[in-house]
Amino acid sequence: MTTAPSPVSAHLVALSADQLRTRLGEALTLYVTAMGYPLSTVQQRAPMWLSHMLRPGWRCTAAVGRDGALLAIGYGYLGAPGQWWHEQVRRGLVAVRGVPAADEWMTDYFELTELHVRPDSQGQGLGENVLRHLMDGVTASRVLLSTPEGPTRAWRLYRRVGFQDLLRDYLFAGDPRPFAVLGRDLPL
């Protein structure tokens, strides 16, 4: 007999870049655990997360447990030409859907860069709560993200809140796994 997980007690907080910097090790450990990456990935990703905090429109939301531990984290910023992810996705959209579709989706968008829930806290609505809190007040007309292909809780969340396929089985430079690029109009 399987029992449902007990509800997690958490509150949502907007983190400033300074606040996330002080908790970066904890946030990155949550990230690698949720993604199933080796712990050594923390050191590789830290400089990228730090540089993302400097981008226009950057914002971050975390779910914090009673004990103060991070249970979930999400962040993103305004996408723009010249950013690595923007250029990768634009190239894919042009190849698959043409320049007009690329122009439509890759203008005035918020890149949902990271959204992760600690595995022992998944399946209880934290991901959706963090996503909705993070998107509340975003001034861009759309939100875009990429996620590894496969039937996961993340996929169910993105479908439930109305994300549509922009690219499927897309290969980003430097990662052998296929990804989907998803998007939707804002507000959620």
Q: Closest Cα to residue 146, out of 156, 154, 134?
A: 154
Residue 158 is among the residues annotated as catalytic for this protein = yes
Distance (Å, rounded) from C-alpha 102 to C-alpha 104?
5
Active-site hit among 31, 77, 109, 158: 158
> Do the beta carbons of residue 75 and residue 60 sit within 8 Å?
yes
- Active-site positions read 158
